[in-house]
Each structure stands twice: as C-alpha cells, then as structure tokens.
Amino acid sequence: MLWWIKTIVFLTVVFSLCRLIQSKIEHFDEVKQSFTSLFLQKSIFLLIIILLLTPINWAFEAWKWQKLASKIENTSFGEAYKGVLIGLTFSTATPMMIGDYAGKILMLKTNKRLQSIGAILLGNSLQMYVSLLFGTISYLFFTIWANPSPLILHISIIVFLMICLIFGILLSFNLSNINAFLSKNKFFEYLKKYLGILENYTLTELQTLFIIAISRYFIFSLQFMLMFKVFQINLPISVLLVGVGIIFLTKTLISVLNTFGDLSIRELTSIYYFGFFGANIAAVSSATFMIWLVNVLLPIIVGSTFILQLKLTPKKH
C-alpha cells in the first residue's frame, strides 16, 4: 500500500515537473539565441564553475537542516541533503513552501516528526532574514542611485524592511521564552507541539546557523554574478551585487508563491531594476532563467529520484 502511495506521489511530482518545463519552453529558445550571439570559450569555463557551485549551494542548506534536525534526531549529512532536495521537489506542486516542510519531515525516522515543523520554520526564517538584510541594504543603494518615483513609497518600503530586521533580532533573543508565550493563550498553546522546540536553540547555535545561511547567500550571489558575466552584462560590480540583493529580496517577500511563480518574480524584478541602468534586457532575462535552471530545476530533477526512498511511517520508539 505504501509503495503505491509513494508511486502516486512520484508520478504527481513528475507530471508537475513536466508542466513546469513546458511552461518555460520559450525561455530555452531565448537562451539558445543569446548563446548563439554571445557564446565564447571562456563562457564554457564560467558555466562549469556555476554548475559546480550548485551542489555546494544546496550543501549549505543541507548542513543547516542537519544542525536544526539534531534537536529531534541525529541524521547524516547525506540524509539531510536528500530531505532538502525532496522538499524542493515537492515545492513544485505546493504553495507557501508546504512541500519543503513535507520533504524534510518525511526523511526523518523519528515518531516526533511534528516537532520538526518548528525547526524547519527556523531554518527558513534565518535564510529569509539573510535575504532581507542584504536586500534592504541593496534597496537603499538602489533608491539613492536611481531616485525612483514616487520616492516616498520606496522610502516607506525601506523603513518597513528595517522594522522587520529589528523585529527579527528581538525575536532571536527571546526564543527561549517561546513556550511561556504560547502558554498564555489557549489558541497559541495548541502550537506548542510544533513550535516548542524553538526554545532549545541557543544564541550560539543561532549564530552558527546564521553564518551558514550567509554562506549560502554568498554562493548563490557568486553564481548570479558569474552568469551575468556569461551573458556579457557589463555593469559595475556594485550595480550587479545590488541587483542580486533586490532579486532575492523580492523573491523572499513573495515566497507565498510556489516554484511555478518563482522564475517570473525573478525575471520581473531583474527587468525593472536593470532597466534603470540601460542593461540588455534580453540578456538579463536569459541570465535569470539560467540561474533558475541550474539552481532550481536541476536540483528538482535530482530530488525527484529520491521520492521512492521516503519512509512514510516513522519508526516507533
């Protein structure tokens, strides 16, 4: 019975993946045309580096998840890596990152799987905070450079982002009081079995996890910068870095959308931002698509091969 359930899940994911590729087929043609006019021997070398950085990128996410999951059960780095890729794969067919939670939870063998929801939420929040931090700095520079209108709107957004950053810091210093807070209200008390684990993470552990999240952000940014080089988007490094920060910021703020919408968010943000600096929009669009293909689509394909290995029923302790 369980084998049939896993098979159905696998086929559903494959179907979603086929739809995903089919919906982006026109982008493959755009990239092909760009390569025809821009492709140079050094581009092959840069593309190889970008590809080699992809497993490193997701390795940092797996390392972060392994450390988070250690409060529930000791899991190997390999198992953590599989959980991350399966979560990414499931996200192709689910909104609001539900698939990410499911993939990581199902890779755990403990019967305390529900407790991992808080751990996954913490890991995702840390990565979002990193994007928010660098995105806010980038948005500030963009507002100063481009002076977009209406200026008051962009200033208001920056103020809002700074408030969110301050709230994140305050929250990290008060995780140890999470259970006491949840116990004050009957509705929130119901969440204790999911979020209660958050009080087990010390500030030192949070700092380590934060450094891992920053490392992953830097790897992703490096890939983006190299891809801009491949498509000969010859803008100052500072302009490109700020653009990457804004792209990640926008993706973070609209993370309620699933992977189907992920590429569109990146593209629209790229076109809007780089349009202020006179960049080749077709090249920007192709670079953004290639980053999505390398860092999202390829890992999704790999992750789909692990679905049949899932243990749908936890071990009894």
What is the biggest distance separating any 2 CA atoms in the chain, rounded to whole angstroms?
Answer: 64
Model confidence pLDDT, tens digit, residues 138-161: 999 999 998 888 889 999 999 999
Q: How far is CA 137 from CA 202, 241, 271, 273, in A?
A: 27, 11, 20, 15
| pLDDT given for residue 152 in this prediction | 92
Q: Cα separation of 132 and 217, whole Å?
A: 11
Model confidence pLDDT, tens digit, residues 217-270: 999 999 999 999 888 888 999 999 999 999 989 888 776 544 444 556 777 788
Span of 51-60, 135-144, 279-288, 293-302 with lowest mean pLDDT: 279-288
Return phi, psi of residue 182, to 5°: -65, -30
**Residue 16 confidence class, pLDDT cut points 50, 70, 90:** low
Q: What's the burial of 117, exposed, middle or buried (CB within 10 Å: 0-12/13-18/19+)?
A: middle
Q: Which two tokens stand for residue 7?
A: 């098979």
CA angle 113/118/122 to nearest 5° reads 135
Residue type, 282: A
**Residue 24 confidence class, pLDDT cut points 50, 70, 90:** low
Give 90's contacts (C-beta < 8 A, 6+ positions apart): 13, 98, 99, 100, 102, 103
CB atoms within 10 A of CB 46: 18
Q: Cα separation of 315 and 317, whole Å?
A: 6
| pLDDT given for residue 20 in this prediction | 52
Q: What mean pLDDT is predicted for residues 20-37?
A: 54
Q: Cα separation of 37 and 24, whole Å?
A: 21
Whether omega for the bond prior to residue 150 falls within 30 degrees of 0, making it cis, is yes
Span of 45-54, 226-235, 239-248, 275-284 with lowest mean pLDDT: 275-284
Give 285's contacts (C-beta < 8 A, 6+ positions apart): 27, 30, 267, 270, 271
Model confidence pLDDT, tens digit, residues 184-203: 777 777 777 788 888 889 99
| pLDDT given for residue 225 in this prediction | 94
SS3 per-residue string spanning 139-197? HHHHHHHHCCCCHHHHHHHHHHHHHHHHHHHHHHCCHHHHHHHHCCCHHHHCCHHHHHH
SS3 per-residue string spanning 108-129? CCCCCHHHHHHHHHHHHHHHHH
**Residue 181 confidence class, pLDDT cut points 50, 70, 90:** confident
CB atoms within 10 A of CB 235: 15
